[in-house]
Amino acid sequence: MNIVLWIITAVLALLFLAAGTMKIAQPKAKLAAAGQGWVEDFSDGAVKRIGALEILAALGLILPAVLGIATVLVPTAAAGLFLLMAGAGITHNRRHEKPNVIINLVLGILAAGVAIARFGPFGL
Protein backbone atom coordinates (compact mmCIF):
# COMPACT_ATOMS: atom_id res chain seq x y z
CA MET A 1 0.00 0.00 0.00
CA ASN A 2 2.89 2.35 0.73
CA ILE A 3 4.15 1.99 -2.84
CA VAL A 4 0.69 2.86 -4.21
CA LEU A 5 0.60 5.96 -2.00
CA TRP A 6 4.02 7.03 -3.25
CA ILE A 7 2.92 6.60 -6.87
CA ILE A 8 -0.25 8.63 -6.32
CA THR A 9 1.71 11.26 -4.42
CA ALA A 10 4.33 11.52 -7.17
CA VAL A 11 1.67 11.85 -9.88
CA LEU A 12 -0.15 14.55 -7.90
CA ALA A 13 3.13 16.39 -7.27
CA LEU A 14 4.08 16.34 -10.96
CA LEU A 15 0.64 17.47 -12.11
CA PHE A 16 0.42 20.33 -9.64
CA LEU A 17 4.04 21.40 -10.17
CA ALA A 18 3.35 21.67 -13.90
CA ALA A 19 -0.01 23.40 -13.45
CA GLY A 20 1.34 25.85 -10.90
CA THR A 21 4.37 26.69 -13.01
CA MET A 22 2.13 27.34 -15.99
CA LYS A 23 -0.07 29.70 -13.95
CA ILE A 24 2.93 31.64 -12.66
CA ALA A 25 4.91 31.75 -15.92
CA GLN A 26 2.17 32.69 -18.38
CA PRO A 27 0.06 35.85 -18.45
CA LYS A 28 -3.63 35.55 -17.74
CA ALA A 29 -4.59 36.30 -21.35
CA LYS A 30 -2.42 33.45 -22.64
CA LEU A 31 -3.94 31.05 -20.10
CA ALA A 32 -7.45 32.08 -21.19
CA ALA A 33 -6.53 31.61 -24.85
CA ALA A 34 -5.20 28.13 -24.02
CA GLY A 35 -8.59 27.02 -22.70
CA GLN A 36 -8.27 28.13 -19.09
CA GLY A 37 -11.36 30.34 -19.25
CA TRP A 38 -11.79 30.35 -15.49
CA VAL A 39 -8.92 32.86 -15.18
CA GLU A 40 -11.30 35.54 -16.46
CA ASP A 41 -13.11 35.29 -13.12
CA PHE A 42 -9.93 36.08 -11.13
CA SER A 43 -7.37 38.85 -10.94
CA ASP A 44 -3.82 38.37 -12.23
CA GLY A 45 -2.57 38.23 -8.66
CA ALA A 46 -5.10 35.60 -7.66
CA VAL A 47 -4.11 33.37 -10.59
CA LYS A 48 -0.43 33.72 -9.62
CA ARG A 49 -1.24 32.93 -5.96
CA ILE A 50 -3.16 29.81 -7.01
CA GLY A 51 -0.14 28.76 -9.05
CA ALA A 52 2.18 29.40 -6.11
CA LEU A 53 -0.06 27.33 -3.82
CA GLU A 54 0.00 24.47 -6.32
CA ILE A 55 3.80 24.57 -6.50
CA LEU A 56 4.18 24.72 -2.72
CA ALA A 57 1.75 21.84 -2.27
CA ALA A 58 3.61 19.77 -4.88
CA LEU A 59 6.88 20.35 -3.03
CA GLY A 60 5.15 19.65 0.28
CA LEU A 61 3.96 16.28 -0.97
CA ILE A 62 7.49 15.06 -1.71
CA LEU A 63 10.28 16.97 0.01
CA PRO A 64 9.38 16.43 3.69
CA ALA A 65 9.11 12.67 3.21
CA VAL A 66 12.29 12.40 1.15
CA LEU A 67 14.29 14.56 3.56
CA GLY A 68 12.67 13.09 6.68
CA ILE A 69 12.03 16.57 8.07
CA ALA A 70 8.59 17.76 9.22
CA THR A 71 6.84 14.81 7.60
CA VAL A 72 3.49 16.04 8.87
CA LEU A 73 3.65 18.48 5.94
CA VAL A 74 2.97 15.64 3.47
CA PRO A 75 -0.63 14.97 4.57
CA THR A 76 -1.09 18.67 5.26
CA ALA A 77 -0.12 19.50 1.67
CA ALA A 78 -2.46 16.77 0.42
CA ALA A 79 -5.30 18.20 2.50
CA GLY A 80 -4.54 21.65 1.08
CA LEU A 81 -4.74 20.26 -2.44
CA PHE A 82 -8.08 18.68 -1.61
CA LEU A 83 -9.38 22.09 -0.51
CA LEU A 84 -7.90 23.73 -3.61
CA MET A 85 -9.66 21.16 -5.81
CA ALA A 86 -12.93 21.75 -3.96
CA GLY A 87 -12.68 25.45 -4.77
CA ALA A 88 -11.70 24.72 -8.36
CA GLY A 89 -14.64 22.34 -8.70
CA ILE A 90 -17.03 25.00 -7.45
CA THR A 91 -15.57 27.55 -9.89
CA HIS A 92 -15.79 25.18 -12.86
CA ASN A 93 -19.31 24.10 -11.90
CA ARG A 94 -20.47 27.73 -11.83
CA ARG A 95 -19.00 28.15 -15.32
CA HIS A 96 -20.72 24.93 -16.47
CA GLU A 97 -17.36 23.30 -17.30
CA LYS A 98 -18.35 19.73 -16.46
CA PRO A 99 -15.19 17.98 -17.76
CA ASN A 100 -13.07 20.19 -15.50
CA VAL A 101 -15.33 19.43 -12.54
CA ILE A 102 -14.73 15.71 -13.08
CA ILE A 103 -10.96 16.28 -13.20
CA ASN A 104 -11.15 18.33 -10.00
CA LEU A 105 -13.19 15.59 -8.36
CA VAL A 106 -10.69 12.87 -9.28
CA LEU A 107 -7.68 14.91 -8.17
CA GLY A 108 -9.46 15.93 -4.98
CA ILE A 109 -10.29 12.33 -4.12
CA LEU A 110 -6.68 11.28 -4.75
CA ALA A 111 -5.38 14.13 -2.58
CA ALA A 112 -7.87 13.29 0.18
CA GLY A 113 -6.81 9.65 0.03
CA VAL A 114 -3.16 10.60 0.45
CA ALA A 115 -4.02 12.93 3.33
CA ILE A 116 -6.12 10.32 5.15
CA ALA A 117 -3.58 7.53 4.63
CA ARG A 118 -0.59 9.65 5.66
CA PHE A 119 -2.35 11.13 8.70
CA GLY A 120 -3.54 7.64 9.64
CA PRO A 121 -2.27 4.11 9.16
CA PHE A 122 0.45 4.84 6.60
CA GLY A 123 2.01 7.87 8.22
CA LEU A 124 5.61 8.74 7.57
DSSP string, 30-56: HHHHTT-GGGGGS-HHHHHHHHHHHHH
CA distance linking residue 19 with residue 24, whole number of Å? 9
Instruction: Encode pLDDT of 3-23 as tens digits.
Output: 999 999 999 999 999 999 999
pTM: 0.92
- Whether the pLDDT of residue 124 is over 80: the answer is no
Q: Is 5 left (phi over 0), alpha (psi -120 to 50) or beta?
A: alpha
The answer to whether the CB of 61 falls within 8 A of the CB of 120 is no
Instruction: Encode pLDDT of 30-61 as tens digits.
Output: 999 998 999 999 999 999 999 999 999 999 99
